[in-house]
Amino acid sequence: METLALTLLGFFAAGYFVLGGADIGTGMLLARLGRNDAERRLVLASFAPFFLGNEVWLIATAGLLIGAFPTLEGELLTGQFLVVLPLLTGWVVRDAGLWLRGRTGGRGWRTVCDAAVVGGSWAVALSWGWLLCALFTGTPDRVATGPVAVLCALAVASLFAVHGLGFAALRLTGAPYERARRLVGRGGPWQSFALTSVLMAAVVVSAGAGLPWAASAADGATLSLLVPALLVVTALLVVVQAWMWHAFRKRVTRPSYL
């Protein structure tokens, strides 16, 4: 059961990094890809129907962590308190910017929201790099410091950005598409996106591999109820999410609700 729980956890975490990472990365490049208000709305439309469904992969990761590995969840989040703080703040600010940008007409308001999306996305990506650094260096109980932490944060954030760029090149049209396409470079956007997807999943799974899972798993009675139920729901969810991606698969040519 522990192995199953851990596999499911890895699946959720990798799902978040690949799917959520794509819209976070695109958000980081919002100002670079969209030069005016209409273009920026188009960039947002590229991931608009997906971002809520993408970020819940992380909510599910955290939920499974507290359900199946409660002790580790507590120790990890407390140990990384000062990293999780900017991560959550960035996430909240970014989402508020996304959701509320289109709800009123003022140009000033939309500029504030664009700044919230870009700043929030960067804060999330950098915090992930910082947090993963502590896992890679084998010190999950304390915040990583020093040049290694800075380098790791920048490297992971760049990976998010490149991943988002590939996604944008696959989803956009018009001037923002041209910009994304130029930045992707000679390799095609599909190759670039596939490569960054593998890297994103590999980064989070390998970072988590060093944690003491077996020693912190929940009691057998809890796991034997929790894991089978979640497996069934997860299978259904993957089908629904696949359907959602299929329904909105076309490149975006006009702004959407956001």
Give the residue with the Cβ less far from other proteins, 202 or 244.
Answer: 244
Instruction: Map the footprint of other proteins across residues 88-147, applying CB under 8 A.
Output: 88-89, 91-93, 95-96, 99-100, 102-105, 138, 140-141
> Quick one: which segment of 58-66, 156-164, 180-188, 194-202 binds other proteins (CB under 8 A)?
58-66
Shortest reach from residue 188's CB to other proteins, in Å: 27
Shortest reach from residue 158's CB to other proteins, in Å: 25
Q: Among 35, 85, 178, 190, which residue sits at the site for other proteins (rule: CB under 8 A)?
A: 85
Q: Are 75 and 140 a contacting pair, CB within 8 Å?
A: yes
Shortest reach from residue 135's CB to other proteins, in Å: 10
Q: Among 30, 48, 152, 170, which residue sits at the site for other proteins (rule: CB under 8 A)?
A: 48
Shortest reach from residue 53's CB to other proteins, in Å: 4
Distance separating alpha carbons of residues 258 and 255, to the nearest angstrom = 8
Nearest alpha carbon to residue 21 among 163, 156, 213: 163
Q: Among 1, 4, 62, 205, which residue sits at the site for other proteins (rule: CB under 8 A)?
A: 62
What amino acid occupies position 211? L
DSSP 8-state symbol, 36: S
CB < 8 Å & 24+ apart, contacts of 86-92:
86/123, 86/126, 86/127, 87/123, 87/124, 87/127, 87/128, 87/131, 89/120, 89/123, 90/119, 90/120, 90/121, 90/122, 90/123, 90/124, 90/127, 91/55, 91/120, 91/124, 92/120
* The residue to which tokens 């956890």 are assigned: 9
Q: Among 82, 148, 198, 202, which residue sits at the site for other proteins (rule: CB under 8 A)?
A: 82
Instruction: Map the footprint of other proteins across residues 226-255, applying CB under 8 A.
Output: 226, 229-230, 233-234, 236-237, 240-241, 244, 247-248, 254-255
Give the residue with the Cβ less far from other proteins, 32 or 37.
Answer: 37
Give the residue with the Cβ less far from other proteins, 103 or 194.
Answer: 103
What amino acid occupies position 125? A
Q: Among 72, 144, 153, 180, which residue sits at the site for other proteins (rule: CB under 8 A)?
A: 72
Nearest alpha carbon to residue 21 among 13, 31, 32, 11: 13
> Quick one: which segment of 22-30, 149-157, 175-183, 220-228 binds other proteins (CB under 8 A)?
220-228
